[in-house]
Amino acid sequence: MLVLSRPWRIIGQVLLFSLAATIVAPLLLVVFTSFKPPNEIYAGLPWPQSPTFQNYIDVFEKLSLAIYLWNSIATTVLRVAGQLVLAVLAAYAFARFQFPGRGLLFALVLGAMMIPHQLTFLPIYLMITKLGWFDTWTALIVPNLAMPLAVLLLRQHLLSFPRELYDAASMDGASELRILWSVVLPNLKPILAALTIVLFVDCWNEYFWPLVVTETEAAMTAQIGVRRFLNAEQGDDLGPLMAAMTIVSLPALAVFLFFQRQIIQTFVSVGVKG
């Protein structure tokens, strides 16, 4: 292992520390403020002097945050699940089968990765409204199901998968779907866990698209819902806003911690065979 000399180590630690601080400080500020009573919000001290849960009670009573959270969680879970299923199936086909147009189709998948959302959102928006999907879960889930990056990553993984394992399973009498399910997927756990984190966080933090296609409690996500505390005329209601933001950031954190453990465990148990 590379060992740095003492001065460099200190410099490095100071650098990393300040970097981490710039990221953590605003988050802490949000959490602290969420526990402040209204009269302390604009007071000088960053942390609350007489902490209160009132803001948290308010967000559920005044705002029905629960409904927004339900929309967020349900659409995110469905979307990520759908993305994984589609990506696995597509990657398996690209990695395992010879078929006419395979190269062209894969090039299209890669090409789709290069097109920014800002270019496609308007046509998709128009399509959604024509289909009558405006302000529904469907509008949040369906247009995002195809995930080229996931297809690419999984395909690369599958290409390095030993061909004999597929062959052995065929000889054992397994159908292609059965091979995918019983032989391939169990060996893809680490990459699937990593992908789940990326896809979940990506979806959970999405702001622009839900803002465009949702309007009411029928589909509006928590990320958009919390905006209701921003009110230009009566002034922003910062305490409940911060409380809502704190709550909204928890699920992504939970998912990260859970799947990160999966990844590390798999790498540990596979990695020791050396």
Partner 1 sequence: MSSVRFVDVRKTFDKVVAVQGLDLSIADGEFVVFVGPSGCGKTTSLRMLAGLEEVSNGQIWLDDSDITRLPAKERDMAMVFQNYALYPHMSVAENIGFALTLRGVPRGQIAERVRKAADMVQIGHLLDRRPRELSGGQKQRVAVCRAIVRDPKVFLFDEPLSNLDPQLRTTARGEIRALQRRLGTTSVYVTHDQIEAMTMADRIVVMADGAVQQIGSPVDLYENPANTFVAAFIGAPPMNIAPMSAADGALRALDRDFGRIGDRLANACKIGVRPESIVFRDDAPSRMSVSQVEIIGAECLVYGEADGASLVARVERAAAPRIGERVGFDWPADATYFFDAVDGRRLHI
Q: Is 44 in the site for partner 1 (CB under 8 A)?
A: no
CA 122 to chain centre: 23
First vs last Cα of the chain: how many Å apart? 18
Binder to partner 1 among 13, 120, 129, 175 (CB under 8 A)? 175
State the nearest-atom distance from the C-beta of 188 to partner 1, in Å: 10
Q: Is 165 in the site for partner 1 (CB under 8 A)?
A: yes
- CB of 86 closer than 8 Å to CB of 145: yes
Angle, nearest 10°, between helix axes 102-114 and 65-96?
150
Which stretches of 172-237 are DSSP H helices? 176-179, 189-204, 208-213, 222-225
64: alpha, beta or left, given left = phi > 0 and alpha = psi -120 to 50? left
For partner 1, which stretch binds (CB under 8 A), given 16-24, 111-119, 182-190, 235-243?
182-190
For partner 1, which stretch binds (CB under 8 A), given 39-47, 73-81, 111-119, 175-183?
175-183
Residue closer to partner 1, measured from CB, 4 or 270: 270
For partner 1, which stretch binds (CB under 8 A), given 59-67, 130-138, 181-189, 248-256?
181-189
State the nearest-atom distance from the C-beta of 190 to partner 1, in Å: 12
For partner 1, which stretch binds (CB under 8 A), given 4-12, 141-149, 177-185, 192-200?
177-185
Burial label for 254, CB within 10 Å (0-12, 13-18, 19+), is exposed
Spatial distance between the Cα atoms of 244 and 12, rounded to a whole number of angstroms: 36
Binder to partner 1 among 61, 167, 217, 236 (CB under 8 A)? 167
- CB of 210 closer than 8 Å to CB of 135: no
Q: Is 101 in the site for partner 1 (CB under 8 A)?
A: no
Q: Is 186 in the site for partner 1 (CB under 8 A)?
A: yes
Which residues are near partner 1 by CB under 8 A? 162, 164-165, 167-175, 178, 182-183, 186-187, 273
